[in-house]
Structure 1
C-alpha cells in the first residue's frame, strides 16, 4: 500500500497534551494518542540504536551497498542483544531521560502529511479500521 498513515488533523496529538489535560475524548483522539505513543517508542529506539552503534554516525562516507550491510548487521546485533540480554541498559536509560526538548523538536519538525494521491482512500479506510479496533468495537 502506498501512502502515509497520518493522524487526524484538528485533534490533540502529542503525549504531553494528554498528561497535562484530560484523557482522549473520542475515537480520533484515541487514535492520535496511540500514534504519538508508538512514534515516541520508534524515535527512542532509533536514538538508542544510533547512540550504541557509533558507526551509524559516519555512514555518508560509505557506499550505499556498504551502508545497507552495516544497517542490517547492527540491527541483527541489536535484536540479539535485546532478545538475550538481562537488561537493556541503553533503552532503559533513554526511557528514563526523556525530556521536553524531544517534544519541542518533534513539534518544530512536524510536517503535514496529507494523503491525496493514489491509495488515499485505502489509507483513510485503514486508519478508520485501526481507530475502530482501538475503541474495542
Structure 2
C-alpha cells in the first residue's frame, strides 16, 4: 500500500526525482501498478469474459482459473500472432485515463496494521539506500 499524503501518481514525479524513501516507494508502486493495469487492459480487450460484469457470476476459484487461462492463451497468441495495435490502444487508454476506474483511490485507503507499516517502511528504506548507493540506477523520469 502506498504512503498517504506523499506524491504518488507518475505525473507528480515527472518534474523532479524522489526526495526521500516514501516518495521513492510511492513512485515505484505507481509504476508497477501502471504496468499491471496495462497488462489487464490488454487481457480485457482480448478476452471479453474478463471485463464482463453480467451474469453468470463465478466463484473466486473459477475466476482465478479463467484469469490464468487467459494469460496462458495470451502468451501463446503473442508467439503466434502478435497484435501490436491492441497493445498500443490499451497504452493510449491508460495514459489518457480512460481505462475502467474499477480500482480504488489510493488516497482514500486507510493505513494498515503496524506490522504492515513496519514491513513497508523496511522495504522503502532499503529501496532508498540502494537508490542513493547506486546513482547510475536512477529512475528515468522522461518515460
| TM-score > 0.5, shorter chain as reference | yes
Residue pair 1:59, 1:67 contacting (<8 A) in 2 also: no
Residue in structure 2 matched with residue 14 of structure 1 by the alignment? 9
Does the 8 A contact of 2:44 with 2:50 survive in 1? Answer: yes
Q: 1:109 to 1:102 in 2, by over 3 A?
A: farther
Q: CA RMSD in A?
A: 3.0
**C-alpha separation in 2, matches of 1:22 and 1:88:** 35
Partner of 2:54: 60
* Distance in 1 (alpha carbons) for counterparts of 2:124 and 2:45: 34
- Unaligned residue ranges in structure 2 (runs of 5+): 134-143
Q: Give, in whole Å, the separation in 2 of the partners of 1:91 and 1:109.
A: 24
Shift of 1:7: 1.2
Q: Determine whether 1:70 maps to 2:66.
A: yes
Indicate which of 115, 121, 137 corresponds to 1:122. 115
Are 1:95 and 2:91 counterparts?
yes
Q: Name the residue aligned to 2:31.
A: 37
Give distance in 2, aligned partners of 1:29 and 1:48. 29
**Counterpart in the other structure of 1:3:** none
Residue of structure 2 equivalent to 1:26: 20
In structure 1, the gaps of 5 or more residues are 1-5
Q: Deviations over 1:67-114 (max 9, x none)?
A: 5543332122123345x46856233443355434359x58x9515222
